[in-house]
Each structure stands twice: as C-alpha cells, then as structure tokens.
Structure 1
Amino acid sequence: MKPSLVVGKIMQLISASLPNRCLMCHQSIALPARGLCHVCLDSGLYHQPICQGCGCAMQVQCIFCGRCLLKQPIAVIAPCSYHQGLGEWIGLIKYQAQFAALPVLSQALVNRVCELESLGLLRLPQVLVPVPLHINRQRKRGFNQAWLIADSIYQQLNIPIAVQGLERVLDTESQAGLTGQQRRMNLSGAFRLADSFPYQRIALIDDVVTTGTTVNEIATMFKKLNIHVQVWCLARAEAPGLLD
C-alpha cells in the first residue's frame, strides 16, 4: 500500500475515534453526520418563503416580492439568515479556518437549490464561479472559502467549477464595517473578467451576502457579456426586520 494511502487510512481511523459532537448543543451526532446536529441546523434554516431579491419573508414562495419584482435585482439563494443562529459557524470558516460546519451547511444550500428548482423558481447554472480572493489575501489565509463551498456543491450536483476567467486584481481592505457607499468605492475596479466566457448561465458562489456589493460588482461584468447570474451562498445577512 502506498504511504499516502496509509497516512489517509490512519487519519480516517483517528477521526472516527474522536468524539463527534454538535458545535452548537454539544450532543453526540451519529456518523456520518458531522458539524451540526439535525435539530440545531433545522432551527437556523428558513421555514417560510423568502424573496430572492431582498430576503424578506413572503406568504407564497415566488422568485421576488412585489417590491423586488419592479427592480429585478440579482437572485440570491441561501438556506438561512446569517442572523438566525448559524452565522457564527459560517464566520468561523472564513476567519478561523474551522471547517466542521462546512459540509452540512453546503448540503443545506444544495437542498434549498433543489427545492427551488423543483418549484420552477430556479434554473441550474452551467458552471459555478467562486468569488475570487486577491492572491495576497489567499496566500495569507491559505484558502478561499468560496472555492471550498463551490467544491462541496460540485461533489453533490456535479456542476463544474470555473477556475479561470474571473480574477481579483485589487487587494482591497475588508468590507466589514464599511457603509454601503464605502463598500462600492472599495470594490470599484477590484475584479477583472476575461473578454470571452464560454457559458450563458452561472452561479456566483460566496459564503455570505450582506449588502450585495461584491456580487453586484461582479454580476455587472457578466451581464455585459449577456451571461445570466444568480448567487448561491451559505447565508444572507438581510436588513433588520425583513423576517418579522
């Protein structure tokens, strides 16, 4: 047996021997489930129709609420609100490289996508496009969380990932704590898209959508090439009161 396979087998045995507990309630979870138990995960997921535009609660599941229907904003698909209990674990993925909740949250996103597709409210894209990091930030962090999410989705839906065509050319400051206007100024010219992109429908992948500044900046470039864009993320941090 190759040494790499031996090491992999040892790591699997070690992992299987460790306590498998929910990050939130610390109760034991039966393998192969990991990260979050069903009860804690379910408590943070959406349980009502949600507008894909602004994230407000609706009475009937449609693509957009009446207000967004007039604006036709970019559609954002997420399984939960960042503010309803699961945001902490999503933040730990990006800022502390703690990936325990990533598989179950990615599965929740895929479930949401499949639900909306079955209702005729979503058309699957041809390719997944992770929001890119600048090379300096990726080297410092060691990974791109958007790519990890995209890879998990690929494993479940077999939709390929586009690894070329879109790049981040400016090493901007973090968007956290900036106002909407500051966010837009911060990202102006931060991304570059190739002149030709061989797809007509893409899903832009990110961990969290807050004001939508980042995804809208990127979507504008794709739309100039007549490419349809939707956004898939683990959670959206909608404005206060929209879920009331």
Structure 2
Amino acid sequence: MMTQPSLQRWLGAILPNRCLMCHQQITSTQSGICRVCLNACLYQTPVCLGCGREMQLQVSYCGECQRHNRLKVVAPCGYHDGLGHWVGQIKYQAQFAVIEVMVDALIRRLHHLIELGFVQMPQVIIAVPLHSKRLRQRGFNQAWLVAQSLSQKLELPLLDDVLIRQTNTAPQAGLSGKMRRQNLLDAFTLVADINWQRIAIVDDVVTTGTTVSEIARLFNKQYIETQVWCLARAEAPGLN
C-alpha cells in the first residue's frame, strides 16, 4: 500500500505538461490546470461563506446563514463551475496534478477574505481524517494531502494526531441531509489536548457541511474557534 508521504514524493514526477481542461501546453511552473482555465472557474461574484450562494454584496453571511450561525467555509470556487470534476478525480482517480494549483487558488481566496476582515488566519490546521480501514483501502487521504500543501505554503502546523474517525461510516454521497447527520453522529473523537484558539478544518469538498460541522462541534466544546477550508464548495439546496 502506498503511503501519503510516498504519494507526495511522486507528485512532481506525474504532473502533466498540458492543461487537463483545455489540453494546451503549460509551463513548468504550472501544474494540472492552466491559469486561463483556472481563473475562468473561480468565483466571479461574492458568495455567502455559510452556504456558498451568490450574493450581490460581499458580506460574511446571507440572511439565512446569519440566523443559523453557520461555519465559515473558505473555498476558491463552486464545485459545479468547472473544477469540481477534477477535485473529485483526486479522490477517485488519484489525480494529484491539480492539488498545488487549487491550493494556490485557495490561499489567494483566503488572503482576500482576511483583507476584508471576514476571517482570521488560524494558528494550526487539521485535515478531516479517514477511518483506518478506509485509509488502507484507498492508500491516501485526499484531505490530508491538501492540508499538507497548505501547511507548507502558509507555514502553519498540521495537527494529524489529535483527531480520529472512530466509526467507519457509509459514504455520504446519495444520503439526505438528515441521513448524513445520523451517519456522522459521534463518528469523530479527539484523542489529545488542544492548546490552540483558532483552527482551520481542511477537506477536499464541502457540500452540506455535515462532516466539518461534526468536527467543529468537538472543538467548540473546548471554546476553540473553527473555520473550514476546501478546494471547492458544492451547494446542496435539496439536502435539508
């Protein structure tokens, strides 16, 4: 079984020299997706940090999310705006070529929101963990790969020994909102003390936010402020 560090070492060797979307040649400083295709797929309008819906003006939350005190989700693009397919390929086809360019886009989005005063830079980051059985089957945790890249580029500690997935839950895809919440109830647990005040939870994709909300609940019990970072945000208006 290939380990996560091994995958990272292989990353540089497997990056294509053509854009996965338009198939035009890209420079050696780029990877996976060219700047033209990338920029065309990034958010072009303000979006709510709670649910991802488009808004006329950039504020933290839409009216609905203000009432529910939603988690703030930092993402550079919507899942259905062109890049979601390639984010999904990281998990399902081990297509790691898009990770670095997408992480860079996420970092730019993060700095923009920090300048606007909507989020603060966290002190540490933590990846959404896989259950040990699922990790053995897949050979890697895509959220951890994204978090590792963010950790290196932002020079933030990556905590990978404080949170575990104690239940091997069924995949969330295809479940209703209520079923997703039931599926993840008490699925995670903290196994070490946390001595930080601000944490960013990293995942590849956020849809309803059920997974990251369940993790955030554990940290909130210890009065730790949480935010969420992901490569793409998928709206799911029908999942209540």
TM-score, normalising length: structure 1: 0.89
The structural deviation recorded for 1:19 is 6.1
Q: Decide whether aligned partners of structure 1 residues 19 and 144 sit closer, same or farther in structure 2, where only a CA change above 3 A counts.
A: closer
The structural deviation recorded for 1:195 is 6.2
The equivalent of 2:7 in structure 1 is none
Question: What are the superposed Cα offsets for residues 87-136 of structure 1, whole Å, 9 maximum, x if unpaired?
Answer: 11000001111101111011110110011111111100010010000011
The structural deviation recorded for 1:70 is 2.2
Q: What pairs up with 1:14-163 in 2 under 5 angstroms?
A: 20-163=17-160
Greater C-alpha radius of gyration: 1
CA distance in 2, matches of 1:81, 1:73: 18
Please tell me the residue identity of whatever aligns with 1:23.
L
Please tell me the residue identity of whatever aligns with 1:152.
S
**8 Å CA contact retained: 2:31, 2:97:** yes
Q: Does 1:238 align with 2:229?
A: no
**8 Å CA contact retained: 1:129, 1:203:** yes
The equivalent of 1:206 in structure 2 is 203
The structural deviation recorded for 1:240 is 5.6
SS of residue paired to 1:128: strand
Question: What are the superposed Cα offsets for residues 1-30 of structure 1, whole Å, 9 maximum, x if unpaired?
Answer: xxxxxxxxxx97x77xx9610000100001
Please tell me the residue identity of whatever aligns with 1:35.
G
Please tell me the residue identity of whatever aligns with 2:194.
F
TM-score, normalising length: structure 2: 0.90
SS of residue paired to 2:52: coil
SS of residue paired to 2:61: coil
**Structure 1 runs of 4+ off > 4 angstroms?**
none
Question: What are the superposed Cα offsets for residues 121-175 of structure 1, whole Å, 9 maximum, x if unpaired?
Answer: 1100010010000011111111111111011111211011011111000111111
Question: What is the count of residue pairs matched by the alignment?
Answer: 228
Please tell me the residue identity of whatever aligns with 2:163.
L
Which of 213, 217, 220 matches 2:217? 220
CA distance in 1, matches of 2:127, 2:103: 14
Structure 2 unmatched runs, 5+: 1-10
CA distance in 2, matches of 1:69, 1:186: 26
Please tell me the residue identity of whatever aligns with 2:100.
P
**8 Å CA contact retained: 1:19, 1:28:** no
Structure 1 unmatched runs, 5+: 1-10
The equivalent of 1:166 in structure 2 is 163
SS of residue paired to 1:46: coil
**8 Å CA contact retained: 2:125, 2:201:** yes
The equivalent of 2:173 in structure 1 is 176
SS of residue paired to 2:96: coil
CA distance in 1, matches of 2:73, 2:57: 17
What percentage of aligned pairs have identical amino acids? Answer: 54
Please tell me the residue identity of whatever aligns with 1:53.
G
Q: CA RMSD in A?
A: 1.8
Q: Decide whether aligned partners of structure 1 residues 237 and 230 sit closer, same or farther in structure 2, where only a CA change above 3 A counts.
A: same
Q: Decide whether aligned partners of structure 1 residues 184 and 19 sit closer, same or farther in structure 2, where only a CA change above 3 A counts.
A: closer
The structural deviation recorded for 1:56 is 1.1
